[in-house]
Structure 1
Amino acid sequence: MESVSSGPVGPGRTRSHRLVEVEVGRCLLLDVSVAGRRLRLINTYRPQSGLGRRTLLRELQQYLHTSIPVIWAGDFSQVLNAADRSGRFFDKHESHFLKNMLQQADMVDVFTHDGRVGKHTYHCAGKSSRLDMAFVQSGEVFTEVEEVLVDYSDHLALSFLLGASSVPAKGRGLWRLSAESLEGEAVRHSFEALLQLELTRTMLFDSMSQWWEEAKESFRNFFHKLSVVREGNKYKKYLSLRKKLESYISDGVAGDKVSQLKLLIREHQYSRYRSLVLERDYGGFHFPDPFRNCRESVEKKVITGLKDSQGIVQTSKGGILRVVQAYYADLFKSKALEGEKIKAFLEGTPGPDLQNLDFSSLVADITEDEVKMAIDQLHLKKAPGPDGLTAEFYKTFKDLLAPILVEVFRDCLGGGVLPPSMRLSSLVLLSKGKEPSDVKNWRPIALLNTDRKLLAKVLFSRLILFSGTLLSHEQFCTVKGRSIFGALLSIREVLETCKAQSSRRYVVGLDQAKAFDRVDHQYLWATLRKYGIPDQFVEWLTVLYREGESFPLVNGWRGENFRVEAGVRQGCPLSPLLYVFAIDPFLRAVQALDLEGFRAPRCLPLKLVAYADDVTVVVSHPEEVNLLTDAIESYSEASGSLVNTDKSEAFWTVEGEPDFPLPDFQLASKEISILGVKFGREDNSKLNWESKLDAVNARVQRWKKWRLSYRERVKLIKTYLVPLLLYVSFVYPLPEAFYARIHSLFFQMLWGSRLNPVKRGITYLRTKEGGLDMLCPVAFFGTIFLKFNFGHLGQRTEVLWQSSVRAWVSPFVGDWLQGDRVKQVRVRHSHLPSYFVLGLKLLRRWDIRVDDLGTASRRALYMRVLDVYFAIPLALRDCVGNTLVRSLRFLNSKRSTEIAPGDVVWRSPRSIFCSIVPWQRVCALRSPELSVLRSWTPWAMRNWPMVCRPDSTATTTRRCTWLLRYIGTIYGTGDAAIPLVRM
């Protein structure tokens, strides 16, 4: 396949799919199949003016983001680098826009790739430039790159041979109902009519589940035809608008008519989001929307090659699918376990107290209210199963479908088997961040059909009510009132107490290989019966897993079906709860062993902590090692699980050599990572926060260059930076040594550089008060730690970590517990952990009382600390503060979009926002009110004479226009807080 001259062309059989003239005479797009390969060819002849070039690029940008390979070539009338032009000044700002587009679309310059020096393609009057360029997507293979002299043009032609891509071709994936297909009353009425028609056919089927299978197929066909008709109508409308535009241009029509017609054409062109539907099964590519670029990159989701059982890397579509299918077909195959070992293990393990437990609610008939509640709990914008019917579909027609689903579910559970579509799932793989060629380093997720999820949610909502009573206290997953932070804080207290008291013992983290996928169904059902779950409910659960099938969906390609006879499906709402029931006998068996464990005041000794399959055990003496390994072996033989001792780690809690070895476990020398938090022998607060801030810094340095408004930057900080730090803030507070660094990172992201043109305290103000509603990291993460760790001190609880915290801080908070302020704490050279010292300092520094922690919400506590200790009012000169605040609130309140007669509409140069200012009030503006600009930026000081020069009405108008333009550059889009007093 060859690309030649100033536009992409190629030999071989071709078939055109779509032709789009992005701009008449300037840019042509062609979706075509060349030699059996689908391509998008874009030919560009960009205008001479910089404004025209940028306008064309903005229109073209959406077409670069698609699942098919893109070749973009032509005469760009500009250069990318200084070396591409001789004899003229290089405008780096103009090339910056094009470079950003290429980076976001993950495209490379063919003629400068891998260090190649591109030749200048245009020569004139002793000067030359490289104006002709060709770009392809990263991963494409191209050879024989050369610039060719031709006699039919004053430019050199570009030629290169495009070969097979190093990235596997992407498939179309599975059909998925789009949200826009559900919009409109006409769609609702048509679907209601279709449903009523289908209901008249129920007598033709032996069961409601059989009817439901056929009905779903009718639903799919209905919405598929609807989407085809809609897209066809849009394309016809687009073609008619395009013809009308061509006639306007031929007749010499210009002005508003042409501009409005171009706007309509842009609206009717298919958007980048519809073209990206093809990539839904493996994530988005590089989006023009920077917020989408914040997410996981596509390289972590596309599988380029996998090793088969012989160690040979398979890179073809069929080879990759065969590797995945063979591996998971074997993994999900039922293992031949001995029933006697299962029985012996369960009988020898202590069980829960079943007295006074009424399980009748588990086996009651499914009700319509339960189904509606399950539908309400569905998350939107989630990938559906093979039938393509999304959560949005069930939510839109909830009242119509809920009564039908009740009958279908009752029929399925009573008949003992699910219909074929509810038994089938697609298996997608997510990277674990390790060696990508090993199939074991990909996490399988089962995409189940939504109706099957709803049935699982109904059963889950019943079983979860008994989890707190039936499951052991050491399990923190899927139990009401417990969370992952309870497990982390329990481990933290064990290690910190051992460090303070020089208590010598091991903390062992057990690694279970493919924990969810190896659960044996026979063992699981036996465990549930041991825990008193009624046989009828257990039978309902077996229905969900009986005759289950799945197929791999890799890079958008579908593989062959295989049976699923073991494991709990990751992606099913019931799976976490079923797994914790499966592992609970092992936890009880370890708890019953003669282990010393860790003892907190007024609590039973803690021997282990578990969150799902992450189990951490405390080993204090050599004789306890054999007890633990015997328990692991018994559990593995009975359940089919596999504890990987090679990957399990043991951590010695104090400095020096361990007193006794653990031969079957790896020894962690400096630190151990448990549930995503690092624990070592030094200051764990600094250990965790330093690594997290390094990750934040890497993102800030990349993201701060993006062209975003300040409001968008604040939103990006809250959406993508804060979650990186939120998890660890529950366990360890932000160290004081990192205050300056975290402020620097957050405000670099806000302003795009280290220069802060506005005082930080002003940015913390709400938008109605003239701020940016910026998050204060010190106050935010500090109040999170205080609320979670100290909020219980006013109560008496028997939770281990809470009792341990109370024992640490009780000598210092006696008066505070009585409602007084925390006294000054001096704990030099003490064994009190550093994070508690900092917590006490924050309680005193921010004057937080015990009632505040106990009753106020976390947000209310944060806002109080922010307002009192961090936010500062606008620095005003010659302007009354109350007047300004009232004016800001008025300007930021919801205002009528209608423009009354006599009003003047002011817009920033980019039409970022619109502020309605009555003409009489414009004339009444005085320079003292405008002096608020002095507190915002040096720009106001430089331009103060121009802004505040009193003159005629015309000058006042220009003055206000400048003011609004300035505010537009500060605030960007949205209902901006405008620091302007309206008289």
Structure 2
Amino acid sequence: HYKKKPAQLASGLRIRTLNVRGLAARRRQCQLSRHLLEKDLEILAVQETKVESESQTEFLVKPFTSRYNVCVSHAVGRSGGCCLFLRRAAGLIEENVVSCESGRLVLCDFVFLNQKWRVMCIYAPNVESERRAFFEYIDRFVISDRFTILLGDFNCVCMPEDRTNQRRNSDRSSEVLNQLIQDKGLEDLAPCITPGHRVLYTHHQGRGHARLDRVYVSADLVPQCNDFAVSHVSFSDHSLVSFTLGQRKKQTSFSWELWKLNAKLLEDHELTGKIETKLGRLEEVSENSICEEWELFKQQVKIDAIERATNIKREERRVENCLRQDLQRLYVEEERTPGAFKDDISTIKAKLEKIDEDRYKGAIVRARAMNLIVGETPTKRALALEKKYASRNRIEEIEYRGAVTRDQDSIQHAFVEFYTHLFEKKIPKEKGFDTEFLPSQPKLDSDTTTFLEDPISLSEVEKAIDDLSVVKSPGPDGLSTAFYKKLKQRIAPVLHRVFSQSYQKKKITTFFFVHAHGLDT
């Protein structure tokens, strides 16, 4: 049976491979999970996990299983171990998984866009004789009726130019691998699509560098492969090898409706100065326009906060990108003069590790995941919780006029229409309502009645702000409890005027409106 020539892929797969040099530690899992989330990968092949037992494996895969199916080949002792991560929402229909007892091979058969595929993750042995036997063993798994992607750490080079020391040495395993690649109709992807055919080393150790981590694909797939890259990471002496198969769709833009004010911004003098100035203007407006001006004030604060956060984020990204560019340049120089820039590379990697750590700590704070173990290194769980809390009150889908809709404008219109119609109705008074039902209900004493009918006082507004829950925002505008508490002395008098004016006008401003999850129309 022979596979058909692939049609132009309507949807792309972003694929990467990396030797992680151990994945049992929670910190390393965090760094890998961050990479999966940020790069939105469909397939990731990982080698040298050094994870052997079932309990260790369960601990390893747990942070990833909400988004990825994980295929595992267990390590033997502290040697080997491979994993394949396949994103659940990518349209991949898994058919079969095979792993070897040595922990050096895991493969997955799947259907994608009505075509059959096989992706194989390998971690070849270090010893030449064992490596030769391993390549002879995997020959049986490279079959002709599926499009094949063979990737991983091959622990050998097939051409002298793939290492800094280009002296010829006798390596029979390379000959076996070259013969396998030729017989099975595979192509080494890097030389096919790397601009200028420049060798990109993937393993950096001491004074020797080599292209050990490679990707081989069925020859028919080469024209559809693009974006090939080798990038260095802070947590491994191997580099990430990545490429895209087919064309990726553009990411949907972020919805600012889910925006929440970051409490850290309240420590920024530039932003708080703008807020104080706007509050001063708000305090001077007349009673008749206080409600409208309050709504305008909140929108202006939101715009200022978004602008300031964007500038801060841009600067942080600039610093991080500069570090990564410096790391790339140092590796280029290191390849020319092995060992000369080893200390500089270690220093930059340490700075990048610190950026990773700070980013995950921020995610935990924003997610209010205070139930995590103190001192535990943040994981993908932090980012998942952050997203969950950001959208927990968001109504994603309703049935409106006989049709299911996910459009937020339509959902808002449906609720406005429903409650407008509901509140226009008058409750029919059944017989006996005035004479039997009402007299049977509990009655408020005169003191409570007087208290409730009195105008809202400034002290009540201040107490309400003090009592706000720290884990909630008091409205749908994204301004947090921390915002109201920090500026209570300035905001409380303004809110008191807003409440009083709303009561006099018998009209509630949009400040009080929020779409609550779970309402059934």
TM-score category (smaller protein): 0.5 to 0.7
Deviations 1:413-453 (A, max 9, x none): 2232233x225x23242xxxxxxxxxxxxx22xxxxxxxxx
Q: Which residue of 2 aligns with 1:422?
A: 511
Q: Which residue of 1 aligns with 2:306?
A: 224
Mapped pair 1:361 → 2:470 = no
Q: Which residue of 2 aligns with 1:174?
A: 258
Q: Could you tell me which amino acid in structure 2 is paired with residue 271 of structure 1?
A: R
Structure 2 residue matching 1:152: 3-state secondary structure: strand
- Report 1:881-900 matches (<5 A): none
Q: Determine the C-alpha separation between the residues in 2 that align with 1:157 and 1:320.
A: 46
Query: How many residues are treated as equivalent by the alignment?
Result: 364
Q: Could you tell me which amino acid in structure 2 is paired with residue 288 of structure 1?
A: K
Q: Determine the C-alpha separation between the residues in 1 that align with 2:495 and 2:291.
A: 9
Alpha-carbon spacing, 1:384–1:271, altered in 2? closer, same or farther (3 Å): farther
Q: Determine the C-alpha separation between the residues in 2 that align with 1:345 and 1:62.
A: 67
Alpha-carbon spacing, 1:327–1:273, altered in 2? closer, same or farther (3 Å): farther
Is the 1:79–1:129 contact (alpha carbons within 8 Å) kept by the matching residues of 2?
A: no
Q: Determine the C-alpha separation between the residues in 1 that align with 2:413 and 2:487.
A: 40
Q: Determine the C-alpha separation between the residues in 1 that align with 2:461 and 2:296.
A: 21
Q: 1:386 aligns with which of 470, 476, 483?
A: 476
Q: Could you tell me which amino acid in structure 2 is paired with residue 44 of structure 1?
A: R
Q: Determine the C-alpha separation between the residues in 2 that align with 1:216 and 1:44.
A: 44
The structural deviation recorded for 1:373 is 0.6
Q: 1:61 aligns with which of 12, 33, 36?
A: 33
Mapped pair 1:77 → 2:79 = no
Q: 1:103 aligns with which of 65, 70, 73?
A: 65
Mapped pair 1:192 → 2:276 = yes
Q: Determine the C-alpha separation between the residues in 1 that align with 2:55 and 2:24.
A: 15
Is the 2:397–2:405 contact (alpha carbons within 8 Å) kept by the matching residues of 1?
A: yes
Mapped pair 1:263 → 2:313 = no
Q: Could you tell me which amino acid in structure 2 is paired with residue 152 of structure 1?
A: E
Structure 2 residue matching 1:46: 3-state secondary structure: strand
The structural deviation recorded for 1:395 is 0.7
Mapped pair 1:157 → 2:217 = yes
Structure 2 residue matching 1:265: 3-state secondary structure: helix
The structural deviation recorded for 1:399 is 1.2
Q: Which residue of 2 aligns with 1:116?
A: 95
Deviations 1:765-786 (A, max 9, x none): xxxxxxxxxxxxxxxxxxxxxx
Compute the TM-score of the two structures, normalised by the length of structure 1. 0.31
Is the 1:372–1:402 contact (alpha carbons within 8 Å) kept by the matching residues of 2?
A: yes
Q: Could you tell me which amino acid in structure 2 is paired with residue 191 of structure 1?
A: I
Q: Which residue of 2 aligns with 1:239?
A: 321
Q: Determine the C-alpha separation between the residues in 1 that align with 2:319 and 2:463.
A: 42
The structural deviation recorded for 1:379 is 0.5
Is the 1:111–1:133 contact (alpha carbons within 8 Å) kept by the matching residues of 2?
A: no
Deviations 1:638-688 (A, max 9, x none): xxxxxxxxxxxxxxxxxxxxxxxxxxxxxxxxxxxxxxxxxxxxxxxxxxx
Q: 1:50 aligns with which of 22, 26, 37?
A: 22
- Report 1:93-492 matches (<5 A): 98-107=60-69, 110=86, 116-118=95-97, 130=105, 143-147=114-118, 148-149=147-148, 150-153=185-188, 157=217, 173-200=257-284, 202=285, 206-252=288-334, 257-268=344-355, 271=359, 288-289=380-381, 314=404, 317=407, 321=411, 325=415, 328-329=418-419, 332-339=422-429, 341=431, 344=434, 349-352=439-442, 357=447, 359-419=449-509, 421-422=510-511, 425-429=513-517, 443-444=518-519
Deviations 1:749-771 (A, max 9, x none): xxxxxxxxxxxxxxxxxxxxxxx
Alpha-carbon spacing, 1:271–1:354, altered in 2? closer, same or farther (3 Å): closer
Compute the TM-score of the two structures, normalised by the length of structure 2. 0.53
Is the 2:44–2:86 contact (alpha carbons within 8 Å) kept by the matching residues of 1?
A: no
Q: Determine the C-alpha separation between the residues in 2 that align with 1:404 and 1:319.
A: 30
Deviations 1:509-555 (A, max 9, x none): xxxxx8xx9xxxxxxxxxxxxxxxxxxxxxxxxxxxxxxxxxxxxxx
The structural deviation recorded for 1:163 is 12
The structural deviation recorded for 1:401 is 0.9
Q: Could you tell me which amino acid in structure 2 is paired with residue 144 of structure 1?
A: Q
Q: Could you tell me which amino acid in structure 1 is paired with residue 263 of structure 2?
A: A
Q: Which runs of 5 or more residues in structure 2 are unaligned?
A: 1-7, 71-84, 119-146, 149-184, 189-213, 222-244, 335-339, 369-377
The structural deviation recorded for 1:173 is 4.0
% identical aligned pairs:
17
The structural deviation recorded for 1:72 is 3.7
Q: Could you tell me which amino acid in structure 2 is paired with residue 182 of structure 1?
A: L
Is the 2:95–2:109 contact (alpha carbons within 8 Å) kept by the matching residues of 1?
A: no
The structural deviation recorded for 1:169 is 12
Q: Could you tell me which amino acid in structure 2 is paired with residue 73 of structure 1?
A: I
Greater Rg, structure 1 or structure 2? Answer: 1
Q: CA RMSD in A?
A: 5.4
Q: Could you tell me which amino acid in structure 1 is paired with residue 349 of structure 2?
A: K
Q: Could you tell me which amino acid in structure 2 is paired with residue 264 of structure 1?
A: K
Is the 1:80–1:95 contact (alpha carbons within 8 Å) kept by the matching residues of 2?
A: no
The structural deviation recorded for 1:100 is 3.0
The structural deviation recorded for 1:239 is 1.5
Q: Which residue of 2 aligns with 1:953?
A: none
Q: Determine the C-alpha separation between the residues in 2 that align with 1:323 and 1:347.
A: 36
Alpha-carbon spacing, 1:339–1:399, altered in 2? closer, same or farther (3 Å): same
Deviations 1:180-220 (A, max 9, x none): 221245543442233224445x25x8432222222222222
Deviations 1:813-854 (A, max 9, x none): xxxxxxxxxxxxxxxxxxxxxxxxxxxxxxxxxxxxxxxxxx
Is the 1:177–1:390 contact (alpha carbons within 8 Å) kept by the matching residues of 2?
A: yes
Is the 1:46–1:75 contact (alpha carbons within 8 Å) kept by the matching residues of 2?
A: yes
Higher relative contact order (CA 8 A, sep 6+): 2
Deviations 1:15-40 (A, max 9, x none): xxxxxxxxxxxxxxxxxxx79xxxxx
Alpha-carbon spacing, 1:48–1:349, altered in 2? closer, same or farther (3 Å): closer
Is the 2:456–2:500 contact (alpha carbons within 8 Å) kept by the matching residues of 1?
A: yes
